[in-house]
């Protein structure tokens, strides 16, 4: 396969001339190797075959800028004014990230002016009437114990010129945007207006996606909490299905375009018989279709558990009302869970099989919980990396983790495509091994 061509260059606001105030913290260690060498890179490729395919000298191999503290920084901390905003849907860990940013900025860099912009990008636009709030250690104390976001969020587009007007009028130097793909598109337009006006404002994203659909990032924060929570619903569905003759448990989980939550929850639980995801189209009818398979499975084993990602099988629902979009322009999905429930019940009835079908949709229960300890650790480390990047004058980038290392990813790259389950990859293979379902229902 030809090597993937990527531009990993991160935009900077200029030379870093200011001595980092982290020196006392890092000097106590035997060496100061905690500082990132500005010339170091985290290699994009990590197998011998990938490297060999580049046919390149080592210094020509693509590599991400590593995350972490720089010896020299761009912004004078005592004069730096910071803004933080959360946009898009809820995701476990938003408050952990907010708290992580505030504490790193205040305790180690000595930044004293931090504003929380409320209700997403609306918070920059005066007419909505959501004035920013002051954030300090006290204001974020204990917020990580709760789901949601203390800053509120919203969808719907706002004019990037008006947003930058607001940043300029408040003399903000650094803006952290915590949000999904739409929010990162918004962040890039803000960074572009900043550049167009010749301003020195760093725009740094902390990508949020419960569906784990942002590319060039091993796993997004909140994802582990989300699939752990979804696993509880699978367990309930299994218990319900086993308790009655011909029982079917049907669980719809989040995953608009990417079925990672469905796959991981199914693997964690190991009781799912079928996993339906957007990446793998399936046929419902016919001898090799999903319904016939399900009927056979229930006949043989007495029960079955089906997990469907919300974006699965949308092709069955396309007819009828024209595609609708939400305030941010995202296509509204039709409810595959309800559709499957009806089709399964009808199919069993048609074949004279009595069944009891229990349908569980834990979507909002999954989004709104606080992060689990693993995600909390990940959130705080992303927040630290985001602060180091911002103080060193990076902009138009998101922080992420690539093959286990914290890295800077240009926003343009992070929104260039969607991370999806590869039907030819090892994750889907594991799902097939666990469920025993056919590679395709066709
Ligand atoms: P989620 O994954 O939960 O949907 P998201 O960040 O993608 O999160 P959206 O509602 O799509 O959520 O977008 C959040 C904000 O980003 C909205 O205010 C939206 O208007 C803005 N936004 C979305 N797409 C763009 C774009 N292409 N350019 C500028 N701003 C955008
Ligand atoms: Mg989105």
Strands of 21-112, DSSP E: 42-43, 63-66, 72-73, 81-86
**Beta carbon of 209 within 6 Å of any ligand 1 atom:** yes
Q: In Å, what is the CA distance from 161 to each residue of 27, 53, 166, 186, 395?
A: 42, 44, 9, 11, 17
Residue 442 has pLDDT above 70, yes or no: yes
Half-sphere exposure of 110 (CA within 13 A, CB side): 11
Q: Is 367 annotated as a binding residue?
A: yes
User: What pTM does this model have?
Assistant: 0.94
Query: Of all residues in the chain, what percent carry a pLDDT higher than 90?
Result: 86
pLDDT of 284-340, one tens digit each? 999 999 999 999 999 999 999 999 999 999 988 865 455 577 888 787 778 899 999
**Cα 132 to ligand 2 centroid, rounded to whole Å:** 24
Distance 416 CA to ligand 1 centre (A): 14
Report the distance separating Cα 284 and Cα 251, nearest Å. Answer: 17
pLDDT at residue 323 in the model: 58
Indicate whether residue 155 lines ligand 1 (CB < 6 A). Answer: yes
The number of the ligand 1 atom at minimal distance from the alpha carbon of 213 is 2
pLDDT digits (tens, 9 = 90+) for 140-174: 999 999 999 999 999 999 999 999 999 999 999 99
Residue 181 CB less than 6 A away from ligand 1: yes
What span, in angstroms and rounded, lies between the C-alpha atoms of 379 and 221?
6
Residue 408 has pLDDT above 80, yes or no: yes
What is the model's pLDDT at position 363? 87
432 pLDDT band, cuts 50/70/90, is very high
Distance 328 CA to ligand 2 centre (A): 8
User: Hunting for tokens 């229902």 — which residue is that?
Assistant: 441
| % of the chain residues with pLDDT over 70 | 97
Q: What is the predicted pLDDT for the residue at 29?
A: 59
Q: Would you name the residues annotated as active-site residues?
A: 211
- The encoded tokens of residue 344 equal 């399964």
pLDDT tens column, 174-189: 999 999 999 999 999 9
- pLDDT score at 27: 65
Q: Give the model's pLDDT for residue 327.
A: 82
The Cα–Cα gap between 304 and 291 comes to: 12
User: Left, alpha or beta for 86 (phi > 0: left; psi -120 to 50: alpha)?
Assistant: beta
Decide whether any atom of ligand 1 lies within 6 Å of the 212 Cβ: no
Cβ-proximal residues to 149 (8 Å cutoff; 6+ apart), any chain: 86, 90, 94, 95, 98, 178
- Tabulate helix, strand, coil % of the chain (nearest 5): 40, 15, 45
HSE of 337 in the Cβ direction (CA atoms, 13 Å)?
21
Backbone torsions φ then ψ of 66, nearest 5 degrees: -70, 145
Q: Which tokens is 304 given?
A: 């079955």
For tokens 């909002």, name the residue.
Answer: 364
Q: Whose atoms come closest to the Cα of 121: which ligand?
A: 1
Helix (H, G, I), strand (E, B) or coil at 280: coil
Q: Is 318 annotated as ligand-binding?
A: no
Please state whether beta strands 174-179 and 202-207 pair in parallel, antiparallel, or not at all (unpaired): parallel
- pLDDT for the residue 246: 96
Lookup result for tokens 């167009």: 196
156 phi/psi in degrees, rounded to 5: 95, 140
Q: Are 79 and 45 in contact (CB under 8 A)?
A: no
Could you tell me if 36 and 69 are in contact, meaning their C-beta atoms sit under 8 angstroms apart? yes
Residue nearest to atom 31 of ligand 1 (CA): 186
pLDDT in tens, 224-277: 999 999 999 999 999 999 999 999 999 999 999 999 999 999 999 899 999 999
77-129 tens-digit pLDDT: 999 999 999 999 999 999 999 999 999 999 999 999 999 999 999 999 999 99
The helix/strand/coil state of 149 is coil
Looking at residue 28, its pLDDT comes to 58
**Does any ligand 1 atom lie closer than 6 A to the CB of residue 418?**
no
Note the pLDDT tens digit of each residue in 325-367: 788 878 777 889 999 999 999 999 999 999 999 999 998 899 9
ipTM value of the model? 0.96
pLDDT at 320: 45
């Amino acid at each position: 396969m030809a090597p993937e061509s990527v531009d990993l260059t991160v935009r900077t606001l200029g030379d870093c001339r200011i001595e980092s105030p982290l020196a006392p913290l890092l000097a106590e260690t035997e060496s100061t190797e905690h500082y990132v060498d500005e010339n170091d890179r985290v290699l994009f490729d990590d197998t011998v075959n990938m490297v060999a395919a580049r046919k390149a000298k080592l210094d020509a191999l693509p590599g991400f800028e590593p995350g972490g503290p720089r010896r020299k920084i761009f912004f004078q901390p005592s004069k730096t004014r910071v803004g933080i905003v959360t946009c898009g849907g809820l995701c476990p860990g938003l408050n952990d990230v907010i708290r992580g940013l505030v504490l790193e900025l205040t305790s180690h860099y000595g930044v004293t002016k931090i504003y929380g912009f409320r209700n997403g990008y609306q918070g920059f636009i005066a007419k909505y009437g959501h004035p920013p709030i002051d954030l300090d250690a006290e204001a974020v104390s204990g917020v990580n114990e709760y789901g949601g976001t203390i800053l509120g969020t919203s969808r719907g587009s706002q004019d990037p010129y008006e947003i930058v007007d607001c940043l300029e009028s408040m003399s903000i130097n650094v803006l952290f945007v915590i949000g999904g793909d739409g929010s990162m598109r918004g962040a890039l337009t803000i960074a572009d207006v900043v550049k167009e006006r010749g301003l020195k404002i760093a725009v740094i994203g902390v990508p949020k996606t419960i569906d784990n659909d942002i590319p060039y990032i091993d796993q997004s924060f909140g994802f582990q909490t989300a699939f752990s929570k979804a696993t509880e619903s699978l367990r309930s569905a299994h218990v319900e299905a086993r308790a009655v003759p011909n029982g079917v448990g049907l669980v719809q989980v989040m995953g608009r375009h990417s079925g990672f939550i469905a796959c991981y929850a199914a693997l964690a639980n190991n009781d799912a018989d079928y996993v339906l995801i957007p990446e793998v189209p399936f046929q419902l009818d016919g001898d090799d279709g999903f319904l016939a398979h399900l009927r056979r499975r229930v006949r043989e084993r007495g029960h079955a558990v089906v997990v469907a990602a919300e974006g699965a099988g949308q092709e069955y629902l396309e007819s009828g009302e024209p595609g609708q979009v939400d305030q941010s322009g995202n296509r509204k999905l039709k409810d595959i869970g309800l559709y499957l429930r009806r089709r399964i019940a009808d199919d069993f009835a048609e074949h004279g099989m009595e069944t009891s079908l229990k349908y569980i949709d834990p979507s909002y229960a999954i989004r709104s919980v606080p992060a689990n300890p693993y995600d909390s650790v990940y959130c705080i480390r992303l927040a630290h990396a985001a602060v180091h990047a911002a103080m060193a004058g990076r902009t138009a980038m998101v922080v992420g983790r690539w093959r286990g290392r914290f890295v800077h990813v240009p926003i343009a790259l992070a929104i260039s495509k969607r991370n999806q389950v590869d039907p030819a990859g090892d994750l889907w293979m594991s799902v097939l091994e666990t469920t025993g379902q056919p590679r395709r229902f066709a």
